[in-house]
Amino acid sequence: MNNAAVHLSNAPVRRILIIKLRHHGDMLLTTPVINTLHQHYPAAEIDVLLYQETRDMLAAHPAVTTIFAIDRQWKKLGTRKHLQKEAGLIRAIRARRYDLVVNLADQWRSALITRLSGAPVRIGFDFPKRRHPLWRACHTQLASTDGHNRLHTVEQNLSILAPLGLAPLDERVTMSYRDDDRAAVAALLAAQQVAAPYIVVQPTSRWFFKCWSEENMAETLRALLADGHRIVLTSGPDAKEQKMIAQIQALCPQPGLVSLAGQLTLRQLAALIDGARLFIGVDSVPMHMAAALGTPCLALFGPSKLTFWRPWRVNGRVIWAGDYGTLPDPDAIDTRTDQRYLNLIPTDAVINAARELLI
């Protein structure tokens, strides 16, 4: 471990690869690792390997040079073409001649790519489920995961840098977008005759057990509309999410409510949230984006692991359903259920919290 730290402090670090193969929110919460490495190695090019569908989360990050992506559709191409894609990825990674690889992922695939990168320093996590000679052989250093069950995901991610002895750590989560994303959002708002100030509400998640009922959300929106606020609804493009948005709209006949559901890229959604007076949402990536952007945020939480996934350093409030009733163990939940665990949260609690944040 000390040899790795000495090597990186005494020799120029030209290129760094960070590997994380998870969901959109997970990718956003890797940005403190990117920011810390950029702070300590400002001349280094920092690349990222991720899943193709999560590219937007880091595509505009100013410290990221190259993004390598694994397309999970490769497996549908047949064995031969799939292996060709994987081999091409390895060749491209090896060609970058990395000095350091930071493997935040827990998949065997990530460990093998780490090893095949050829980097002289390769750091991974000492996951209990990966205590195997091959996992150790793929990394030159393994960072401890002791205490991870008490840490936020941001803190867990940053702990992988312990072998490098870096201080201070940059704990900011950053969501980046471009000028053309802001321009596209401005055009959509103008077409809907929406001007600032406005509230952004994303009531949906791909997992409906994380959602409040349409009736409760609509009651909350009607109260805020009656207060004179303009509200923009957003969601992903999934048909179930679109149906949920349509039901909420049908329950809110007042003027002042518009929908951009399914019309925005993730970076455009970031630009929309960045210009909002308030964001209201559930445990999903837009909530993490709002917290990262510093937009006042009202987050509704159910049976997710609050310690791991609460909005990081949020400017606002988290309302947890567990304060109003008994929730199931997060590890015991069937993620395909349509059970609305957030319905334990009374509408008055959300309406009052939103009004306080809007003062």
Share of the chain above pLDDT 90, in %: 95
In this structure, the dihedral spanned by the alpha carbons of residues 217, 270, 170 and 149, taken in order and rounded to 10 degrees, is: 40
Q: Which domains does the chain have, with CATH numbers?
A: 15-164 (3.40.50.2000), 179-358 (3.40.50.2000)
Mean pLDDT of 317-345: 95
DSSP codes of every residue in 53-93: GGGGGTTT-TTEEEEEEE-TTGGGG-HHHHHHHHHHHHHHH
Backbone angles phi, psi at 326, to 5 degrees: -90, 130
Q: In what order do the strands lie in the sheet with 257-259?
A: 257-259, 231-233, 199-202, 278-282, 297-301, 316-320
Q: Are strands 278-282 and 257-259 parallel, antiparallel or unpaired?
A: unpaired
Reported as a single tens digit per residue, the pLDDT across 39-61 is: 999 999 999 999 999 999 999 99
Provide the token pair at 258: 């518009």
Average model confidence (pLDDT) across the chain: 95
Q: Are 311 and 291 in contact (CB under 8 A)?
A: yes
9 pLDDT higher than 80: no
Q: Which two tokens stand for residue 48?
A: 């990222």
Give the tens place of pLDDT for each residue, 69-99: 999 999 999 999 999 999 999 999 999 999 9
What's residue 80's pLDDT?
A: 95
* Residues 350 and 319 sit within 8 Å (Cβ to Cβ): yes
pLDDT at 1 over 60: no
Tell me the torsion sign for CA atoms 126, 100, 162, 33.
negative
Q: Are 74 and 82 in contact (CB under 8 A)?
A: yes
Closest CA to 16 of 2, 29, 30, 1: 30
pLDDT value at residue 12: 87
* 214, 220 contact by CB (below 8 A): no
296 has a pLDDT exceeding 70: yes
> What is the rounded average pLDDT of the residues 241-247?
97
Residue in the structure block whose two tokens are 């390895």: 90
**What does the pLDDT average to over 305-324?**
97
Task: Give the separation between CA 245 and CA 260, rounded to whole angstroms.
Answer: 10
DSSP code string of 186-213: HHHHHHTT--SS-EEEE---SSGGGPPP
Please write the tens of the pLDDT for every residue from 104-146: 999 999 999 999 999 999 999 999 999 999 999 999 999 999 9
> Are 287 and 307 spatial neighbours (Cβ–Cβ below 8 Å)?
no
Tokens coding 122: 């390769």
Q: Does residue 297 contact residue 314 with C-beta atoms inside 8 Å?
A: yes
* pLDDT range class, residue 8, cuts 50, 70, 90: low
Distance CA 100, CA 107 (A): 19
Residues 6+ apart with CB under 8 A from 157: 29, 30, 32, 33, 104
Look at residue 175 and tell me whether its pLDDT is greater than 70. Answer: yes
Burial tier of 358 (Cβ tally within 10 Å: 0-12, 13-18, 19+): middle
CA 204-210-211 angle, to 5 degrees, is 45
Q: Which two tokens stand for residue 272?
A: 């929309």
List pLDDT tens digits, range 179-206: 999 999 999 999 999 999 999 999 999 9
Coil, helix or strand at residue 107: coil
